Chains A and B, each alone.
Chain A
């Protein structure tokens, strides 16, 4: 059995991964792109090659820009394997220190190994957890999920629908729904009063950015068609077996509105499970209330041979992701000896300029749309760990027992031990512990994440192919 080999393995076919693989392959780097989804685009450009929503006015030009990344990728000579989930990365089983990594991944329930000299993680972002009472009820999904249903299957809500939270995506989804003729009953904004004043110092850059024009037009259209409630507090999803109504406090009053669908969103955060499991250092970003891997301006992490590009390295948006992908690919080509440093730096120039333009103005809405404390640090019976149904009160009480961090807590609560591997509770747990202890989140730390980074069956693991080569490799290496 031959083992797949490549010089550069790119994980993730969103804008960063597509652009990186295209650039690297164009420089003659033997490149393979693995992605979990059946078609390229990641999440922001989900279903860009397969969407049934072909009237471009519905999803809008920012979405359709993603198509311009696909054709060059297909023509670049990079190999592509869709439906592939990476679950382990190993340095020690590779043939020699310079040989790079062995990577375990699964396609259709079959585990495989490949060898790559250099890795580029482009696994992007995920929705920030939004723990409100009732957020686990059927009928409550993320705004991102709603957008995926629209893009991938042409589905829109048919009953009473409420959008809630903060961040540009809420308005984008509302706008796309309006374009599609879908009705939205309310958009509940959780941005606290006074935020605009905080964001204003960054407004100058925002005014000069590409976001301003589009943003204003989009918001005007939404405001004209959708009832918007500002400064929403105590947001709650109510219902017995599924969502029946949404309650909130605003303008000094408590309101309840019947609804069958609640779409939640309060920003996106880097998906750090793979970057943590490979051992990269991460830092707490105070401004964005999330962990992000420590990278230099080529996307290199603290682990030799592993780079990260796109929102997985820190939230900066889809356009920035493309440019960071190209920069990381140039760096990989340099490390792999395909180009020299001078060529790398020269080629990087235009991408750096484009990147600077793409991130201009982000500080403004990052400040404006910072998720409010109450929605990041819940109390009482609000579920924190969805998989194991652990509440905020339970997490807070365990701190008093002497558990000073999320890893110590695992013996008492099962937070982070369900199949999502902490993706939807990790940030909340770290923040709650920090609040209870009165220390910064950076001191509390995060779950110690290990492989497999996605669950797999024991049978799948048992069937991991062994080659004579690999048996020799293990025999040579001492422990």
Chain B
């Protein structure tokens, strides 16, 4: 679990942002990446792998490991650490291989 430093939480100019993670509301801050918002709200894992369907979470936070893949606003295979949160964003756990959408 990760928690926000008081000084970071209180900083002016970092507007609060509300997103949903698998339907549940999560409060985070403007400027957070999706991955950071997930860690801050107690989600250590964000997807299930393609081969063995085991849980994974963000690992490198710099866009090179591709373990932070989530579905954002209906679009799968988005890197959570490379996407900033936005008010109303829908974040969903990515399960296994990419679904075929009509």
Chain B interface extent, by class: 35 or more
User: In the complex where A145-B59, A242-B44, A423-B64 touch, is A153 in contact with B33 (Cβ < 8 A)?
Assistant: yes
Please indicate the chain B residues that have their CB under 8 angstroms from the CB of A418 in the complex.
66
Please indicate the chain B residues that have their CB under 8 angstroms from the CB of A46 in the complex.
62
**Cα distance A388–B52 in the bound complex, in angstroms:** 9
Identify which of A37, A142, A242, A386 contacts B55 (C-beta below 8 A). Answer: A242
Shortest distance from the beta carbon of A426 to any chain B beta carbon, whole Å: 11
Chain A interface extent, by class: 35 or more
Contact across chains for B52 and A153 when beta carbons are under 8 A apart: no
**Which residues of B, 6-60, contact A by the 8 Å Cβ criterion?**
7-9, 11, 14, 29, 31-33, 36, 39-40, 44-45, 49-52, 54-60
**Cα distance A455–B11 in the bound complex, in angstroms:** 36
Shortest distance from the beta carbon of B96 to any chain A beta carbon, whole Å: 12
Contact across chains for A180 and B5 when beta carbons are under 8 A apart: yes
Contact across chains for B7 and A154 when beta carbons are under 8 A apart: yes
1/0 contact trace for A146-189 toward B, CB 8 Å?
A: 00111011111111000000000000000000001100000000
Contact across chains for B60 and A142 when beta carbons are under 8 A apart: yes
By DSSP majority rule, is chain B's interface helix, strand, loop, or mixed?
A: loop
**Which residues of A, 44-69, contact B by the 8 Å Cβ criterion?**
46, 50, 52-55, 58
Contact across chains for B36 and A149 when beta carbons are under 8 A apart: yes
B89 at the A interface (CB under 8 A): no
Shortest distance from the beta carbon of A120 to any chain B beta carbon, whole Å: 20
Identify which of A54, A153, A457 contacts B31 (C-beta below 8 A). Answer: A153
B100 at the A interface (CB under 8 A): no
User: In the complex where A142-B59, A153-B4 touch, is A52 in contact with B11 (Cβ < 8 A)?
Assistant: yes
Contact across chains for A155 and B51 when beta carbons are under 8 A apart: no
User: In the complex where A152-B31, A155-B2 touch, is A388 in contact with B61 (Cβ < 8 A)?
Assistant: no
Contact across chains for B59 and A141 when beta carbons are under 8 A apart: yes
Please indicate the chain B residues that have their CB under 8 angstroms from the CB of A141 in the complex.
57-61
Please indicate the chain A residues that have their CB under 8 angstroms from the CB of B36 in the complex.
149, 152-153, 155
Which residues of chain B have a CB within 8 Å of any CB of chain A?
1-5, 7-9, 11, 14, 29, 31-33, 36, 39-40, 44-45, 49-52, 54-67, 69, 77, 81-82, 84
